[in-house]
Amino acid sequence: MKASPYLVLALVLTVCFTLATGMELRTGMKSNRAKSNNVFSVLLGDGRQLFANQFFTMADVYYHSGYYPSVFDLREEGPAEIVAESHGHTDSPEDELKEDFLGKPKDWIDRFGRHFRITEHTHLEHSNEREILPWLRLAAEMNPQKIDTYTVGSFFMRTHLNKPREAEAFLREGLRNNPNSYEILFELGRLYDENDHDIGRARDVWQLALRRWLQQDPKTQKENKLGFEEITDHLAQLERDAGNWQQAIYWFQAAQKVAPDPNALQQRIDEIKKKMAAQPSPTNSQP
Amino acid sequence: MNTIWALAGIVIKELYRRKDFYVLFVLTALITVAAGMVNFFDDPKIVRYVKDICMLLIWISALIIALVTTARQIPAERESRTIFPLLAKPVTRAQFILGKFFGCWLATGMALLVFYVFFAIITGSREQYWPWLTYLQAIWLQWAMLAVVIALSLLASIITAAPSSTTTICFIAVAGILLVGGHLNTVALHQPQPLQTIFYTIYFLIPHLEWFDIRDRVIYDWGLVDWLDCVLATLYATAYTGLFLLLTWLGFRRKSLNT
C-alpha cells in the first residue's frame, strides 16, 4: 500500500509539534526562573540573549566614553568593568596597564589614525553615569535572566545618581524574573543598608541571600565563593556597627573560610574582641 | 569651469527632485525622535544614546545617498542617450566626469548639512549644549570621506554593468574599510606568509576612511581634533579622490558609449 505524501507530511508535522511541546515542557520544568513574555522574547526567542550581551557591553563602552577594545584588539578576558566597579573594585596602576589595549602605534597609518580616535582610558563621573542606563534597560528587556544587569544598574543608580527608589524598583523587577538570585538580594540589602540605613531590612535580605547561596549545588557554590564572602562580610559589618559583636565575629569567621586574605578579617575580629574586653556588649546569641 | 558647474547643477536638482533624500531624512528623524521619547528610569538628561543612534543613521543615510546618486549618473546618461548631445556641446569627457563628481559631492554635502542641523537641534534641545566647532569638524571630515566614496563609485560605475551592482559593491567595500580597514595590520600580524604580505599590502593600499569617522568624539563629548590633523586628513582624502577620478577618466575616455 502506498502512503499519500500529504499523510506522511501531516504525520511528520504532528511528530515535530509533539516533540517541540515536550521539549518546551521539559525546559520549563528544568528552569525555576520566571518566564518573561515581553515583545522581544516573542520576536527574537533565545536570540535576544545575544542582543542582551551586546547591550550590556554597550553600557561598559559608554562607561569608558568610547575607549573600548574591538574584537581585533588583544585584551585579557575578564568581567566588564562596570561589574567590577559594582563589586567595589577600583583600577590599580597594573589594571590601567592591562587596559592599554592599543599599545604602541604599529605604523604611520595607525599613529595618524589615533589622532581621530579616543585613546584615553576614563570612566564616567559627575552623574554622567546615567548614560549607561538605557543600555542596561534594553539588556534587561532582552534577557531578564541576566542578573548583572540589575545589580550593576542598581549600583550606579543608588551610588552615583541618587536614585535609590528607581534602583529598588529595578532590583524588584530582577527579583521577579530571578526569584532565586542571591546577587540581587545582596544588592537589595546594600540599598537598604547604605541608602536607607534600614539595618533590620538589610539584615533580613542578606540572610535570605545567604540561604539562596547555600541552596546552590556544591559545584556552583565553589565557583561563586565571592558571593558568600560578600554577603557574610556585609552581615558582619552590619552587626559590628549595630554593636552585636558576637554575631559580627560569627559572620567574619564565616567569611574567613572563603576569603582570599583571611588575616585581614582576623584583624577585624581581634579589634572587636578588644572592644568587647574593654566594654562588654549586650549578650548576643549566635544566628 | 562653467561647464563643470552646469553639469553639477543638474545633479543637485536631481537630488531634490528624487525621493531618496526625503525618505532617508524622515526615517532618520522618526527613529531619532522615537528613541528620544523613551523614558529610562525617569531621567530626562540621558542623551548619548540618542546622539549615537542619530549619528549612525546619518552615516548610513549619507552613504546611501552618495552611492545611489553617483552610481546611476553615467549609466542613466548612457541609457537615455542624453550623453551624446551632452558630449557634443562640446563637453570633454574629463569635464563630464568632474561635473558629475562635483554634483554628487555638493548634493551629498547639502543633504549632510540638513541632517547635521537636525542632529544639533535634537541633541542641543536635550542637553543645552552646542559644540558647533565639533559639529563642523564632524561634517567636514564626513564630507571629505564621501568625496572618496563618490569618486570610487564613479570609477565602479564605468566598470560594472548596472547601478545596483555598483551600489552594492561600493557599499560592501566602504563598509568593509570602515569596520575592518584600520585593523588589517593587527590581523596581518597573526597570519602566516604570504597572507601577511597580502593583508599588509591591502592595508597600505586602501583609503583609510575610518579616520574620518569622529562620531565617538561627538557622542562622548571628547572635543576637537587638532586642526592640522583635519587639514592632513583632507589632503589624504583629496589624493585618493584625485586618484579615483583619474582612473575613472582613463577608463571613460576610451569607453564605447553605445549601450
Mean pLDDT across A184-212 = 91
**Residue B173 maps to a domain:** yes
> Which residue is closest to A156 within chain B, CA to CA?
B41
What is the pLDDT at residue A281? 52
Least confident range from A76-90, A101-115, B41-55, B92-106: namely A76-90
CB contact under 8 A, B216 and A130: no
**How far, in Å, CA of B55 to CA of B32, rounded?**
9
Q: Which of A83, A84, A58 is nearest to A138 (CA)?
A: A58
CB of A131 less than 8 A from some CB of B: yes
CB of B233 less than 8 A from some CB of A: yes
**How far, in Å, CA of B156 to CA of B159, rounded?**
5
CB contact under 8 A, B229 and A131: no
Q: Determine contact, residues B186/A106, Cβ cutoff 8 Å.
A: yes
Distance in Å, alpha carbon of A24 to nearest chain B alpha carbon? 33
CB contact under 8 A, B186 and A72: yes
The residue among A49 and B177 whose pLDDT is bigger is B177
Q: How far is CA A87 from CA A75, A212, A226, in A?
A: 21, 19, 10
**How far, in Å, CA of B5 to CA of A268, rounded?**
82
End-to-end CA separation in angstroms for chain B: 29
Q: Does the N-terminal peptide bond of residue A287 adopt cis geometry, omega within 30 degrees of 0?
A: no
pTM of the predicted structure, to 2 decimals: 0.83
**Residue B258 maps to a domain:** no
Query: How many CB atoms within 10 Å of residue A147?
Result: 19
Polymer length in residues for chain B: 259
- pLDDT confidence of A8, banded at 50, 70, 90? low
Mean pLDDT across B50-69 = 94
CB contact under 8 A, B233 and A66: no
**Number of domains present in the structure of chain B:** 1
DSSP helix/strand/coil, A138: helix
> Which residue is closest to A68 within chain B, CA to CA?
B216
Q: At a CB cut-off of 8 Å and minimum separation 6, what does A49 contact?
A: A142, A143, A146
CB of A118 less than 8 A from some CB of B: yes
Q: How far is CA B259 from CA B80, B98, B179, B252, in A?
A: 10, 22, 36, 14
The residue among A154 and A33 whose pLDDT is bigger is A154
Cβ pairs bridging A and B (under 8 Å) = 80
CB contact under 8 A, B212 and A110: no
Residues of B in contact with A109 (CB under 8 A): 182, 185, 203-204, 208
Mean pLDDT across A100-119 = 88
Q: Determine contact, residues A271/A236, Cβ cutoff 8 Å.
A: no
For A:176-235, CB contacts with B below 8 A are none
The question of ipTM being above 0.90 is answered as no
pLDDT at A259 over 90: no
Q: Among B199, B220, B225, B228, pick the best mutation site for testing chain A contact (most A Cβ within 10 A).
A: B220
What is the pLDDT at residue B162? 86
Q: Determine contact, residues A66/B220, Cβ cutoff 8 Å.
A: yes
> Which residue is closest to B214 within chain A, CA to CA?
A116
Exposed, middle or buried by CB within 10 Å (0-12, 13-18, 19+), for A172?
Answer: middle
CB of A123 less than 8 A from some CB of B: no
pLDDT at A32 over 90: no
Domain assignment of residue B193, given as a range = 2-253
Q: Determine contact, residues A256/A262, Cβ cutoff 8 Å.
A: yes
**Residue B100 maps to a domain:** yes
Smallest Cβ–Cβ distance between A62 and the set B48, B187, B225 belongs to: B48
What is the pLDDT at residue B209? 94
Exposed, middle or buried by CB within 10 Å (0-12, 13-18, 19+), for A193?
Answer: buried
CB contact under 8 A, A116 and B41: no
What is the pLDDT at residue A25? 47
Smallest Cβ–Cβ distance between A130 and the set B46, B183, B204 belongs to: B46
- pLDDT confidence of A264, banded at 50, 70, 90? confident
pLDDT at B54 over 90: yes
CB of B224 less than 8 A from some CB of A: no
Smallest Cβ–Cβ distance between A113 and the set B204, B210, B221 belongs to: B210
Distance in Å, alpha carbon of A60 to nearest chain B alpha carbon? 13
**Residue B259 maps to a domain:** no
Q: Determine contact, residues B72/B18, Cβ cutoff 8 Å.
A: no
Q: Cell 543638474 maps to which residue?
A: B10
CB contact under 8 A, B186 and A106: yes
What is the pLDDT at residue A30? 47
DSSP structural state of residue A281: P
- pLDDT confidence of A78, banded at 50, 70, 90? low
Residue A286 falls in which region: left (phi positive, over 0), alpha (psi -120 to 50) or beta: beta
**How far, in Å, CA of A52 to CA of A50, rounded?**
5
- Kindly report, as residue ranges, where domains of CATH 1.25.40.10 are found in chain A: 180-287
pLDDT tens string B197-251: 999 999 999 999 999 999 999 999 888 999 999 999 999 999 999 999 999 999 8
What is the pLDDT at residue A6? 66
Mean pLDDT across B174-185 = 91
CB contact under 8 A, B141 and A113: no
Dihedral in degrees, nearest 10, Cα atoms A25, A31, A35, A36: -120
Phi and psi (nearest 5°) for B205? -85, -40
Smallest Cβ–Cβ distance between B46 and the set A66, A115, A134 belongs to: A134
CATH architecture of the region A180-287? Alpha Horseshoe (1.25)
Least confident range from A90-99, A104-113, A146-155, B137-146: namely A90-99
Mean pLDDT across B155-170 = 89
CB of B225 less than 8 A from some CB of A: yes
Q: Quote the mean pLDDT of chain B.
A: 90
DSSP helix/strand/coil, A17: helix
For B:193-222, CB contacts with A below 8 A are 203-204, 208, 210-214, 216-217, 219-222
Q: Cell 547639502 maps to which residue?
A: B110
CB of B82 less than 8 A from some CB of A: no
pLDDT tens string A128-183: 899 999 999 999 988 888 999 999 999 999 999 999 999 999 999 999 999 989 99
- pLDDT confidence of A96, banded at 50, 70, 90? low
What is the pLDDT at residue A88? 72
